[in-house]
């Protein structure tokens, strides 16, 4: 009831899956994972003689620190941060206490956060969290939406309906094909989302590994860092400033932005189909459509989807525009912006959920569809004039324009026009069938 964001209040249940990747607790868990895995990698580097290679039991205990990371651990880090006023340093101090309790490692805790700047830990942590959230939440959600659209397309593949171009009656289309248009558009972006990989920056204060090289100049730190980042499933960046330049998040933002935009387009089209009566909506007992008009069954799921896709896009647009820009070797403005990445994905997830709910409640009204088609026999003009062109009839377009443009015509008018045509019998019979 007192949540500042509706994602953590009204809509929490619908975006709960994202909390495992974008809560502050999740971020600190990821930071702990990066630090621990780095510590283990250092121990296996023969040139770091002061840190013995961890034993199998020590390695298991180290991995357990982040694998069993609890809300209590997260709270402890927050308590430490009250003193440090630095979240990554608080994680370092927390881990040093944990590692010191592992037999044989109490003298080696200074290799936690060895030679690192906070951005080394942060960017790799975000890389892990975003990569995992895409695989576990976002990609499945978009895939499920595509499956819904394909199911709707198959069920209505033979349903012919009136088209509207420029808001005006146009050549008929099939409802199934219209749903496949959106399925194909989502699939194109989904393919790019599946191929996308987060990048990683690792290299101390300004990306040169100066701190590590000062301590161990003979180690090939660039190769070490690249290998470590690959072990996390991230693409290593060879040349950086203090920070990951965030081109990866910008690229991802543009992909999700397009997914959201397609979602807005679909939401608006479904809203129009419902407004025209082509689709009705399932009645839910006890549900109210309007506080004063009892007859209303509003397309609220599609309206909610449109609104939430828009909020998500506002954030992703800002990420793409702002994050790749950093003054000289770094400024801190990216840090506070990155904290809202989960919010952007939250509104995306919420919008997809609303869109899928709306699609699940649709019921087709064939009578309305046929009534619309019957009310616009002038739509046959395109087919008729094309047949005339085929047969070399001059000014075919102009002849049909004179009969149909800006005036009300009936099927009889169109049939009378066809009967006067001097074209082969087979083609005339085809046009007669269209007009009856």
pLDDT(285) > 80: no
CA 88 and chain centroid, separation: 28
Classified as helix, coil or strand, 185 is helix
Query: Residues 94, 73: contact at Cβ < 8 Å?
Result: yes
pLDDT(284) > 80: no
Pairing of strands 199-200, 235-236: parallel
Query: Residues 122, 156: contact at Cβ < 8 Å?
Result: no
Number of H helices, E strands in the chain: 20, 6
DSSP 18: G
For domain 119-367, give its CATH number from 3.30.1600.10, 3.30.750.24, 3.40.50.300, 1.20.200.10. Answer: 1.20.200.10
Query: Residues 385, 399: contact at Cβ < 8 Å?
Result: yes
Is 253 tagged catalytic?
Answer: no
Q: Please name which of 340, 303, 293 lies closest in space to residue 318, comparing C-alpha atoms.
A: 340
Give the C-alpha separation, 315 to 34, whole Å.
27
Work out whether the CA dihedral 122, 128, 131, 132 comes out positive or negative: negative
Give the C-alpha separation, 162 to 170, whole Å.
7
Residue 362 CB-density burial (10 A; 0-12 exposed, 13-18 middle, 19+ buried): buried
Average pLDDT, the chain: 94
Residue in the structure block whose two tokens are 């094309």: 386
Kindly state the average pLDDT of the residues 5-13: 94
pLDDT at residue number 133: 98
pLDDT(145) > 50: yes
Give the C-alpha separation, 383 to 400, whole Å.
10
Paired strand residues for 236:
200
Q: Where in the chain is the domain with CATH 1.10.40.30?
A: 376-435
Kindly state the average pLDDT of the residues 235-242: 96
Q: What is the pLDDT of residues 198-212, one digit of tens each?
A: 999 999 999 999 999
Give the C-alpha separation, 379 to 222, whole Å.
67
For the 12-116 domain, the top CATH level (class) is mainly alpha
Kindly state the average pLDDT of the residues 132-147: 98
The reply to whether CATH 1.10.40.30 applies to domain 376-435 is: yes
Please state which of the ranges 44-58, 248-262, 294-308 shows the lowest mean pLDDT: 294-308
Burial 259-291 (b: 16+ CB within 10 A, else e): bbebbbebbebbbebbeeebbebeeeeeeeeee
Q: Where in the chain is the domain with CATH 1.20.200.10?
A: 119-367
Is 86 tagged catalytic?
Answer: no
- Catalytic annotation, pick one of 46, 158, 166, 363: 166
Work out whether the CA dihedral 173, 179, 181, 182 comes out positive or negative: positive
pLDDT at residue number 291: 46
pLDDT at residue number 290: 45
With cut-offs at 50, 70 and 90, classify the pLDDT of residue 122: very high
pLDDT at residue number 435: 87
Q: Where in the chain is the domain with CATH 1.10.275.10?
A: 12-116
Query: Residues 189, 255: contact at Cβ < 8 Å?
Result: yes
pLDDT(295) > 80: no
Paired strand residues for 168:
165
pLDDT at residue number 287: 60
- Catalytic annotation, pick one of 57, 231, 275, 290: 290
């Amino acid at each position: 009831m007192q949540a500042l964001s509706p994602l953590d209040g009204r809509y929490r249940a619908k975006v709960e899956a994202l909390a495992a990747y974008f809560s502050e607790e999740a971020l600190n868990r990821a930071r702990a994972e990066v630090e621990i895995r780095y510590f283990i990698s250092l121990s296996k580097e023969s040139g770091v003689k002061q840190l013995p290679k961890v034993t199998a039991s020590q390695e298991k205990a180290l991995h357990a620190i982040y694998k069993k990371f609890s809300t209590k651990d997260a709270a402890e880090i927050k308590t430490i941060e009250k003193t440090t006023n630095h979240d990554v340093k608080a994680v370092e101090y927390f881990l040093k206490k944990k590692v010191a309790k592992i037999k044989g490692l109490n003298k080696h805790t200074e290799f936690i956060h060895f030679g690192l700047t906070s951005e080394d830990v942060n960017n790799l942590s975000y890389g892990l969290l975003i990569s995992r959230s895409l695989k576990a939440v976002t990609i499945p959600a978009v895939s499920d939406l595509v499956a819904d659209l394909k199911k709707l397309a198959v069920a209505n593949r033979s349903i012919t309906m009136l088209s509207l171009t420029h808001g005006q009656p146009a050549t008929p289309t099939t409802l199934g094909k219209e749903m496949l248009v959106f399925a194909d558009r989502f699939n194109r972006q989904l393919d790019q989302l599946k191929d996308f990989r987060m990048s990683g920056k690792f290299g101390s204060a300004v990306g040169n590994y100066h701190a590590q090289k000062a301590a161990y100049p003979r180690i090939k730190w660039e190769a070490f860092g690249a290998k470590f980042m690959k072990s996390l499933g991230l693409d290593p960046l060879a040349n950086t400033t203090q920070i990951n330049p965030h081109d990866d998040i910008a690229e991802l933002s543009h992909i999700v932005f397009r997914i959201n935009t397609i979602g807005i387009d679909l939401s608006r089209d479904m809203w129009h189909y419902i407004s025209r009566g082509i689709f009705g909506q399932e009645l839910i007992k006890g549900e109210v459509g309007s506080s004063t008009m009892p007859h209303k069954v509003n397309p609220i799921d599609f309206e909610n989807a449109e609104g939430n896709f828009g909020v998500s896009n506002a954030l992703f647009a800002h990420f793409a525009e702002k994050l790749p820009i950093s003054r000289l070797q770094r400024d801190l403005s990216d840090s506070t912006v990155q904290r809202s990445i989960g919010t952007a994905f939250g509104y995306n997830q919420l919008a997809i959920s609303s869109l899928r709910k709306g699609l699940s409640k649709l019921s087709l009204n064939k009578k309305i569809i046929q009534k619309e088609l019957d009310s616009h026999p002038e739509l046959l003009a395109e087919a008729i004039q094309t047949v005339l062109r085929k047969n070399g009839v001059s000014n075919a377009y102009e002849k049909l324009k004179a009969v149909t443009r800006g005036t009300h015509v009936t099927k009889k008018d169109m049939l009378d026009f066809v009967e006067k045509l001097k074209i082969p019998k087979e083609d005339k019979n085809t046009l007669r069938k269209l007009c009856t």
